[in-house]
Structure 1
């Protein structure tokens, strides 16, 4: 479920960003580009979450 929701939110936010930027730059909106970028963003989020440790580091007193 976390993978589906991560893709959903990245798709929604990237597509919105793609629409706004294309409107500001006065270029045609490309839906496929937003889908590709959102898939890449989702994969990067999954990689970063797998690499970062989920537990806190112990405090050492010097």
Structure 2
């Protein structure tokens, strides 16, 4: 469930960002491009979360 919600919110926020940024610079909103960038963002988040250790290690 955690991953489904992460995918949903990432796609929603990236689409919102593309809409707002596009309207600020005067270009049109393209759902396909925004969703493609959202999918790349989800994949990047999955990779980064897999690389970061779950708990900090103690260094002595």
TM-score (norm 2): 0.91
In our comparison, the structure showing a higher alpha carbon Rg is 1
Bigger helix share: 2
Equivalent residue pairs, number: 60
Which residue in the other structure is 2:33 paired with? 33
Show structure 2 runs of 5+ residues with no match: none
Matched, 1:16 2:16: yes
CA distance in 2, matches of 1:20, 1:7: 20
Q: CA RMSD in A?
A: 0.9
TM-score (norm 1): 0.88
> Does 2:32 match 1:7?
no
Query: Which 4+ stretches in 1 moved above 3 angstroms?
Result: none
